[in-house]
Structure 1
Amino acid sequence: MDHITKLKCLICSREYVPEDIRYVCPEHENEGIVDVHYDYDLINNRISRESLEENRDYSIWRYKPLLPVFADAEVPPLAIGWTPLYDAPRLAGKLGLQQLWVKDDGRLPTASFKDRASAVAVVKARESGAEIITTASTGNAAAALSGICASVGQANVIFVPVSAPEAKIAQLLVYNSTVMLVKGSYDDAFELCLEAAAEYGWYNRNTGYNPYMTEGKKTAAYEICEQLNWDAPDVVLVSVGDGCIIGGLHKGFKDLMALGWIDRMPRLIGVQAEGSNFMYEAWKNDEDILTKAPVSGITVADSISAGLPRDRIKALAAVTETDGAYVVVSDDEILAAISLLARGVGVFAEPAGAAAYAGLIRAVADGLVTSRERIVVLNTGNGLKDIKSSMTAVRMAGSIPHHIEASLTALKQCIETSQISAGTC
């Protein structure tokens, strides 16, 4: 991998070559997250916007020269990447915006954004000869790793809090992962996973610990810009829990700026739930994110529940270095956004994905975006991941099914008594 120049610690700035360390800077125990640096001149000789026009591989591997893998690395067979970017004029109109797109990563193989990072994790683990891969997750990262491991026959051990939605646990079991349901929070599961990986020598996929997870997640930024014909958006909104996704988007846009493929850096707006608002508080109050105490991490949006965000250094930089912002939304706002997003553009999001749209509503109200800005909202997971929350959302929206007998007479009576317009049925 001659295109990687160094791994740089984000706390002390020490530099390493990939062979020196496996995950983190040893000077800071488990907190020493590093960033991967590249030789962009070399990369520009291997890939270009023009070469991508001829590339028929519509997956994250179309950007392989920009990823921390060998050129001839064998990659998982699942079609990961190139998710749709939908124009959303009706949603835009309701918010007084001129241009709004929704990128739907709920369309990935295991129905969440986390497939991007897990695909890279599997390649890196097999590169190192690991027999077992492990991760801790509230559900989506676990399902992503589980599904991709299943596609290549890779053994894995998953740690999730016992409170994870049943649908996400079902995915793990269907894919035949070894599942550890931890009686505690996500943070408890994370710590146990770190200990287990160190004890048994398992390859550790954990966000905010394994630096290569950022590299997988940055591919969404590449796709957004390529799908917009390399005319970068002005603003991108994404929900934030551990912070690895917003950090990955930032890294992707920085790559494109360094390559000269885009001419401006989008402002990044991170959206957090009120009960899991560590990054919002740290940003708003200019707090030290290395010493700040954890928050409760309690929210209906399980995928962004994190008392202590593990990738908080990158998550803060993503906002401060792009003149972006953090906004916070309530669980009710998140649930309401599920129906609004579905009815406005046809994207069915789980709570964490809908949180990004709830954040846009808040950003508009707070004057953080202007009507003329070109805005992208990123949905990070499919609504079928959390049926309980989806049903709560539709009840909040006043949507109920009509129970009728199997007869036209019963249908007519229902239409009349419910004041349904037969012309729209």
Structure 2
Amino acid sequence: MMNHVLHLKSLLSGRTFRPDEIDYVDPEFGPDGIVDVVYDYDAIKRAISRESLRDNRDASIWRYKPLLPVRPDAPVPPLQIGWTPLYPAPRLGALLGLRQVWVKDDGRNPTASFKDRASAIAVVKAQERGAEIITTASTGNAAAALSGICASVGQANVIFVPEKAPPAKVAQLLAYGATVMLVRGTYDDAFELCLQASDAYGWYNRNTGFNPYMSEGKKTATLEICEQLGWQAPDRIFVSVGDGCIIGGLHKGLKDLMALGWIERMPKLMGVQAAGSNYLAEAWERGEDVLTKPPIDAQTVADSISAGLPRDRLKAMAAVKETGGAYVTVSDDEILTAIPALARGCGVFAEPAGATAYAGLVKAVEQGLVSADERIVVLNTGSGLKDVAGAMKGVERAGTQAYRVDADLEDLKRVMATI
């Protein structure tokens, strides 16, 4: 049985390819020749509808299988990926003078990050090809997602991460049994080495901004958001941006929904970048061409969104421009401050990259980019347990501390008297 993919379209040349004609990219442009997956929407309409979804009890990304680049009969990993909660956050909204704010918590995915969505697609596509080994380069979350989902189906994998990746993320990789390469260098160095290795050894490559099917996994978040809101699309979605694949994927999901007639308007996508890793925000503000703009030296506490040269920059720029959104830049201090603010305002514990989206909402309100009556979704892309050191820096900035007491009521009374 076939899926509903018509062809793959090059973003640079406009050429189209059969899915079996190329492995990943437009060969004319090498690794930069990213392609888009184009669907037969008429066929999709015959296979799935808003009404059929209402009766669907599959609480995972696979509820949208006809909208994904996999065969209808393709076996999928057993882990429950996606259909993460969308929480109303009235107290956060009130603090910012906003009437309707929701937080989508993708820290609730099996490996505690948004990246499970793409990695699930990668595993299915790799097994379609009979790949013996899957590989990826990552700052940590995509790697953990891939290795965890591979572990669930017994699939071998090789992971490339910068040697300075947070210990909690490296621990996940090792616990899942991945073959881990700690690269002496940056994420961009790890990415290049991964490309070379996959070519040399014939491994299936999951790399963001290279494998076009990763956007298709990531788009499922917007499918969920709109369904969870009763198909009344929000006005704006705030998301942190590093490599650009997530925001590009969100855009793809929204375009799918518009093409199917399931939503009536396109939400504005608000990309939030750390000041020390603001390649896309800088290009957007200056009107620069991301095909010719050179890499920057990326440095930020939000390791998950640290990218000197965003690999999915074409889709990421289009996501903001075509939806009438904007890029917002926040400092590392603002990111760390957002961790306890988000946790206390709605109970969602985010790692620095996840809290960046909320920091961006705060900044956008300050800059007058958001009006009080707009319906806002903030996307948390990873659990705070991914980077406990970052969380501790955040609570220190909030002036919160633990108190040491003896196992004695009188000593407790002494401490309570000082609080």
Alignment of 1:138-217 (within 5 A): 138-217=139-218
* TM-aligned CA deviation for residue 414 of structure 1: 0.6
Alignment of 1:376-391 (within 5 A): 376-391=377-392
What's 1:234 paired with? 235
Supply the distance in 2 between the matched residues of 1:330 and 1:12 (Cα, whole angstroms). 37
* Residue identity opposite 2:270 in structure 1: I
Greater alpha carbon shift after TM alignment, 179-188 vs 389-398: 389-398
Supply the distance in 2 between the matched residues of 1:249 and 1:2 (Cα, whole angstroms). 21
Asked if the contact 1:275/1:295 (under 8 Å) is kept, the reply is: no
Unaligned segments of structure 2, at least 5 residues: none
Asked if the contact 1:225/1:232 (under 8 Å) is kept, the reply is: yes
What's 2:133 paired with? 132
What's 2:61 paired with? 60
Partner-residue secondary structure (3-state), 1:321 = helix
Number of residue pairs aligned between Structure 1 and Structure 2: 418
What's 1:119 paired with? 120
> CA 1:90–1:2 in structure 2 vs 1: closer, same or farther (change >3 Å)?
closer
Partner-residue secondary structure (3-state), 1:27 = coil
The question of 1:315 aligning with 2:351 is answered no
Asked if the contact 1:131/1:202 (under 8 Å) is kept, the reply is: yes
* TM-aligned CA deviation for residue 407 of structure 1: 1.1
Supply the distance in 2 between the matched residues of 1:275 and 1:33 (Cα, whole angstroms). 26
Supply the distance in 1 between the matched residues of 2:9 and 2:191 (Cα, whole angstroms). 23
* TM-aligned CA deviation for residue 2 of structure 1: 4.7
What's 1:417 paired with? 418
Let me know the Cα RMSD of the aligned residues: 0.5
* Residue identity opposite 1:349 in structure 2: A
Supply the distance in 1 between the matched residues of 2:135 and 2:392 (Cα, whole angstroms). 32
* Residue identity opposite 1:293 in structure 2: P
What do the CA deviations read for 1:102-150 (whole angstroms, capped 9, x no partner)?
0000000000000000000000000000000000000000000000000
Supply the distance in 2 between the matched residues of 1:4 and 1:389 (Cα, whole angstroms). 41
Identity %: 71
Alignment of 1:6-405 (within 5 A): 6-405=7-406
Supply the distance in 1 between the matched residues of 2:82 and 2:418 (Cα, whole angstroms). 47
Structure 2 length-normalised TM: 0.99
> CA 1:348–1:2 in structure 2 vs 1: closer, same or farther (change >3 Å)?
closer
* Residue identity opposite 1:65 in structure 2: P
Asked if the contact 2:25/2:33 (under 8 Å) is kept, the reply is: yes
What do the CA deviations read for 1:259-281 (whole angstroms, capped 9, x no partner)?
00000000000000001000001
Partner-residue secondary structure (3-state), 2:29 = helix
What's 1:421 paired with? none
* Residue identity opposite 1:375 in structure 2: I
Supply the distance in 1 between the matched residues of 2:354 and 2:363 (Cα, whole angstroms). 15
Greater alpha carbon shift after TM alignment, 7-16 vs 201-210: 7-16
Asked if the contact 2:160/2:194 (under 8 Å) is kept, the reply is: yes
Supply the distance in 2 between the matched residues of 1:140 and 1:178 (Cα, whole angstroms). 15
Supply the distance in 2 between the matched residues of 1:296 and 1:398 (Cα, whole angstroms). 31
Partner-residue secondary structure (3-state), 1:238 = strand
Partner-residue secondary structure (3-state), 1:157 = strand
